[in-house]
Amino acid sequence: MSRPTYLPWVRAGLVATVTNPDPLSGALPARTTFQVTAEADTGDSQSVDIRLMGPGDVTAIDPGLVTGTQPTDGAIEVEPNYFCVAELPSADLPWMFTPAAPNQDRLRPFLVLVVVPAETNALTPGAADRLPVLHVDDASTELPDLAQSYAWAHAEVPNVAGLPAAAQPTGVARLMCPRLLVSRTTYLAAVVPAFEPGRLSGLGLPLPDDDTMLPAWDISVAGPVDLPVYHSWTFTTGDDGDFEALATRLRRVRLGADTAVGQPATVDAHAGLPALTDWRFPGALGSCPDPLPGTDFTAGLTALVDGTEAAAELPVPPPLYGGRHAADPTLAGTARTWLRRLNLDPRYRSAAALGTRLVQEHQEALMGAAWAQLGEVEAANALLRQGQLARAAGTAVHARLATLDAATLVQLAGPMLARLREPASGGTLAHRVAVSWVPRQLASGAFRRALRPRGPLARRTGRTAADLLAAVDAGTPVVPPRGRPDGIVTIDVQTPDGFPDWCTITPKTLQEYAGRPQPPANAAQWRDLVGALAAVHRAKPPCTPPPPAGGPVPLATARTAILAATDPHTTVPARIGARVTGPPGWSPADPLTPIMATPRIDTPLSRDLIALSPDLLLPGIAALPAEAVGAVPVNRRFVEALMVGANHEVMRELLWRGYPTDQRGTPLHRFWDRNGSLAGATDDIPAIDEHWTGDLGTHQTGDPSQVVLIVRGELLRRYPRTQVYAVRAEWVDGRRRPVAVPAALPLDDPAHPERYPAFGGLIPPDIAYVGFDLPDDVRGDADPAAGRPGWFFVFQQPRTQTRFGLDATRSENVPGQGAPDLSWPAVAVSPSGHVDLAGPLSDLVLPGWGPQATSADLAQWCEQKPYRVCIHASDLLAEEDTP
């Protein structure tokens, strides 16, 4: 959508046919009369005179006809140099009842907007069906000149490219009051009639007989005036200056040179340590000299912390900050450079002590947050401790099982044989017993109980169930061969018709076997046959049944499988592990070790540090001049030292209160308040015990260049929605310029030239800090050949609805940039504080300015464009402060 079009007036309907021009001052022409003739189909006609309705016919307007106001009702901190505006939904409404035609595109509206101080002018609520009444103390000093009312009402018509005129959206109308307001004053804004008939009609007074259209007031006549009010609201102005004035007022300072940041101090001799002089103690922001204390100081402090040397005034050794996290009990034996730097440099020991103090001052809230996260961990640890008891008891029982023989184990494990796999066949042990020559009843519980070692059967027979199982598995038949009764002969018959090889033949079966030949007739022959068969039988071995198929049970293999499956060092952890899941990364050597919980507390510590003292954020911050902006790098060593001290103290307090911890966790990960960043709230440091391997100050997350803007003044307080961001610079004709953003390039693209704040906060009453994570050199190099143009910091006015007004301060003429913006010092102002078009402009050449200007011209000239200020980092950062 292109820019809208401003129109000086809009007429619609029958009133558009009025031809009498508006004289622009004094009385309007009388209401226009038209003669309307109606003709019938029969040829007859009738004429009638009608008059257009005028301002005196308007007794009120619907409240919904004022769709918006600037400022809004009840607003505070309103810019005194901006115009007060009432917006109407119909583009032709301000001129709808004006009985005149435009005069060179100038036409007075029938209603106007006035703004008066609420302290000296009263608004009386309307009674019954009457309008509220505004009692103006003095029209000459409070109200605008109605001879110029045409200039402060305009219509805005959208202009959508590609749409025909008939399809264009309808426009709106605006009434403006061009009055320079006084700071810190409450005002009453009201839409009132512009002509005397409208004023009298709204007050319920009779109209004059001559139907004159005089203005509702005359500023040349001093005295009070009562005005009926169609719509009203109140607001309060703030201090002088709009966004543009406040942004350009900011003074660029280099905090390292222009302010006293980090004053030198002296560390007195204590506990046998030598004194340190001219030491600069840092804060979370700002650069700091980097010398280490002398060897005498570090050696003495190492001995004190490690406890190898005691001091009379130190009954308890100083804490070893981060020792638990680093798993190093002493400083003398550690190889971690960050641990030595933190504990042996008094500046960073002080920062760690500050972290400890912050935890101590808020320990109840921190502990409450920690314990609130422990519910599931406590239940899990109860199961793990029960598992340890079960494993210990099971180990004793399993040791007894290991002394038993294989047969006894198989019988004891009878019910679980179906759940144990036999390696050779791939089936279960229960199936292996079922297909062996050992009857499955021998492995049953009932058989084991019947032949228990101390049972009656075992005492009488001297045999136990295990003995029988082992004997049968060795091949002893369960049922021994039976003897042959007299008269029965067992022979080996080889027959082709399917009889078994071994069979028992009686006389009857022999007769049947003989089959078709009949037995001998006399007994002597039968006896001879039987005798011959007996002789044959005596020459053969006894008839023994063949051994059963399936083979023996592999008792040795079964014993190994049973002992392995019942090992409590395997079974108990597996059982508990199915019910308990440890936190990510939790893999102790003993799976039944109680979980050492580390709570997650996302409270940023910077807010508590500032509440303790703003100087701890930036030493000497109170010396920052008013209406100033500066930049400082983040002191990464200070931040990391403070975070170590805070985590050290949290874990100590948790241990004291019985929390399951090994004191190596990192519950506090955040120093800066990053809730408002595009990336969301992210951590500033990783887990100390897992990822800290380098020097102090090298472990923070984010981009390497962390820079913080410090702004002191009214800009961000008055305009809290100001867009503050960083944009990459480029060289153009030997000068640095902000890089233009490519179209449709997403913000998360690494090639995007803009970076938005990563963290920030406020320091009452008038200091704000805004932090950035930038990928490379912020300050850049002054030589274009170096190829490092650096970055700009930008303050951009928030985009809201269109505002109108004049700049608070005079704008300078810049060659080649056209006419400067209109400002209050450049225009003539009436005694009531309103813009006087009859007066000349000073120091400005603006063609068309004056009484001949139309309201559309004035709308364009007075429209306030969004303003932004770009400040290069080299104007704010000293070379030694470059991160």
Residues 185-233 have pLDDT tens digits of 999 999 999 999 999 999 988 888 777 789 999 999 999 999 999 999 9
Burial class (CB in 10 A: 0-12, 13-18, 19+), 837: buried
**pLDDT of residue 503 exceeding 50:** no
What secondary structure letter does DSSP report for 817?
S
pLDDT at position 105, please?
92
Q: How do residues 591-647 score in pLDDT, each as one tens digit?
A: 887 777 788 899 999 999 999 999 999 988 888 889 999 999 999 999 999 999 999
User: What is the pLDDT averaged over residues 356-372?
Assistant: 92
Q: How do residues 737-770 score in pLDDT, each as one tens digit?
A: 999 888 777 777 777 888 999 999 999 888 999 9
**pLDDT of residue 234 exceeding 90:** yes
pLDDT at position 639, please?
94
Higher pLDDT, 374 or 703: 374
What secondary structure letter does DSSP report for 589?
S
Q: Can you tell me the distance from the alpha carbon of 388 to that of 414, in angstroms, rounded to the nearest whole number?
A: 27
Closest by CA position to 70, among listed 192, 245, 235: 235
pLDDT at position 497, please?
41
Q: How do residues 297-336 score in pLDDT, each as one tens digit?
A: 888 888 888 887 777 667 788 899 999 999 888 888 888 9
Cβ neighbours of residue 171 closer than 8 Å, sequence gap 6 or more: 4, 7, 10, 91, 155, 156, 157, 158
* The token pair that represents 35 in the structure block: 């003669």
Q: How do residues 654-666 score in pLDDT, each as one tens digit?
A: 989 888 888 888 9
| Amino acid in the structure at residue 99 | P
User: What is the pLDDT averaged over residues 545-563?
Assistant: 74
User: What is the pLDDT averaged over residues 410-417?
Assistant: 80
pLDDT at position 594, please?
78
pLDDT at position 297, please?
83
Report residue 342's pLDDT band, with 50, 70 and 90 as the boundaries. very high
Contact 648, 353 (CB under 8 A): no
Tell me what percent of the residues of the chain surpass a pLDDT of 70.
84
pLDDT at position 537, please?
56
* The token pair that represents 103 in the structure block: 């005069």
**pLDDT of residue 162 exceeding 70:** no
- H or E stretch including 880? none
* The token pair that represents 863 in the structure block: 């429209």
| Strand order through the sheet with 251-252 | 251-252, 628-633, 705-712, 767-774, 759-763
* The token pair that represents 742 in the structure block: 């490519």
Q: Can you tell me the distance from the alpha carbon of 507 to that of 530, in angstroms, rounded to the nearest whole number?
A: 8
**pLDDT of residue 773 exceeding 80:** yes
Higher pLDDT, 482 or 856: 856
Higher pLDDT, 585 or 228: 228
Cβ neighbours of residue 423 closer than 8 Å, sequence gap 6 or more: 557, 561
Sign of CA dihedral 821, 794, 748, 757: negative
Choose the weakest-confidence range: 446-450, 770-774, 821-825, 831-835.
Answer: 446-450
**pLDDT of residue 173 exceeding 70:** yes
pLDDT at position 266, please?
58
Cβ neighbours of residue 810 closer than 8 Å, sequence gap 6 or more: 823, 825, 826, 843
Give the relative orientation of helices 555-565 and 568-577 as an angle to the nearest 10 degrees: 50
Choose the weakest-confidence range: 241-255, 273-287, 533-547, 773-787.
Answer: 533-547
**pLDDT of residue 112 exceeding 90:** yes
Helices (H), 419-504: 429-434, 445-450, 456-461, 465-473
**pLDDT of residue 257 exceeding 70:** no
**pLDDT of residue 4 exceeding 80:** no
Helices (H), 362-461: 363-372, 375-401, 406-412, 429-434, 445-450, 456-461
pLDDT at position 488, please?
55
Q: Can you tell me the distance from the alpha carbon of 630 to that of 620, in angstroms, rounded to the nearest whole number?
A: 13
How far, CA to CA in Å, does 553 sit from each of 214, 402, 422, 445, 546? 125, 19, 10, 18, 18
What is the average pLDDT value for the chain, to the nearest integer? Answer: 82
**pLDDT of residue 548 exceeding 80:** no
**pLDDT of residue 494 exceeding 60:** no
Q: How do residues 368-413 score in pLDDT, each as one tens digit?
A: 988 888 777 778 888 888 888 998 998 999 898 888 888 888 878 8
Cβ neighbours of residue 453 closer than 8 Å, sequence gap 6 or more: 464
Higher pLDDT, 11 or 473: 11
Contact 420, 562 (CB under 8 A): yes
Higher pLDDT, 88 or 14: 88
**pLDDT of residue 445 exceeding 80:** no
Closest by CA position to 86, among listed 153, 30, 33: 153
Q: How do residues 528-543 score in pLDDT, each as one tens digit?
A: 666 666 666 555 555 5
Angle (CA) 147-170-168 rounded to 5° is 125
Q: Can you tell me the distance from the alpha carbon of 752 to that of 185, in angstroms, rounded to the nearest whole number?
A: 44
**pLDDT of residue 806 exceeding 60:** yes
Q: Which residues pair with 251 in a beta bridge?
A: 628
